[in-house]
């Protein structure tokens, strides 16, 4: 059984520690925990490893957020990974900082990465793990906020939250989405 875990973000040092790149950070933690180094690959950086006997591919697309769907579709087809074995990790403005919300399907909620994936896969029925980044910005400042760095309070809690999210993704691989949602949502 193969799984594809995709952490959304933007390439380049200017985006590395921004709120919008939390998907990359969680993907990096998952890869580290299963001792799977990232290598340059088609449409991004790919780490391949095993977790409890299951093959796990972890992808950080280099397509920029708005074209993430191209990378997801390519690797699903190349590795013959069914939709139910795909997990997308993304930031979410609608959730308080650090809140974990896993869902089996849903709308893109205005997120350009999810919108691109939905267009490429022609469905909203794919698993996603949303990392709450809250919405602490004034009107018209959303782009600056999501592309901004974590504040001091958030930064202090970030490692623990990334660890929790990586465990949720590995639980998805082994225990399935229903069990994982029960165990981790809101935690």
- Catalytic residues, by residue number, are 20
Closest CA to 164 of 114, 97, 76: 97
How many Cβ atoms from other residues are within 10 Å of residue 95's Cβ? Answer: 17
Q: What is the DSSP code (8-state) at residue 93?
A: T
Closest CA to 96 of 142, 145, 132, 148: 132
Report the b/e string of 119-145 with b at 16+ CB within 10 A.
ebbeeeebbbbbbbbbeeeeeeeeeeb
DSSP track, 9-68? ---STTTTTBGGGHHHHHHHHHHHHTT---EEETTEEEEEEEETTEEEEEEEESS-GGGH
């Amino acid at each position: 059984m193969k799984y594809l875990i995709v952490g959304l973000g933007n390439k380049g040092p200017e985006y590395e520690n921004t709120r919008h790149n939390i998907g990359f950070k969680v993907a990096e933690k998952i890869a580290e925990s299963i001792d799977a180094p990232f290598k340059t690959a088609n449409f991004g950086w790919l780490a391949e490893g095993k977790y409890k006997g299951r093959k796990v591919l972890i992808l950080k697309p280099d397509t920029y957020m708005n074209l993430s769907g191209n990378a997801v579709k390519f690797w699903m087809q190349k590795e013959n990974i069914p939709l139910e074995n795909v997990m997308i990790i993304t930031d979410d403005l609608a959730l308080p900082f650090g809140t974990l919300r896993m869902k089996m399907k849903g709308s893109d909620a205005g997120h350009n990465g999810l919108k691109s994936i939905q267009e490429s896969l022609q469905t909203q029925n794919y698993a996603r793990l949303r990392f709450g980044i809250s919405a602490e910005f004034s009107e018209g400042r959303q782009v600056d906020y999501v592309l901004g760095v974590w504040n001091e309070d958030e930064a202090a809690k970030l490692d623990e939250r990334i660890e929790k999210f990586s465990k949720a993704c590995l639980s998805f691989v082994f225990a399935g989405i229903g069990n994982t949602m029960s165990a981790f949502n809101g935690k």
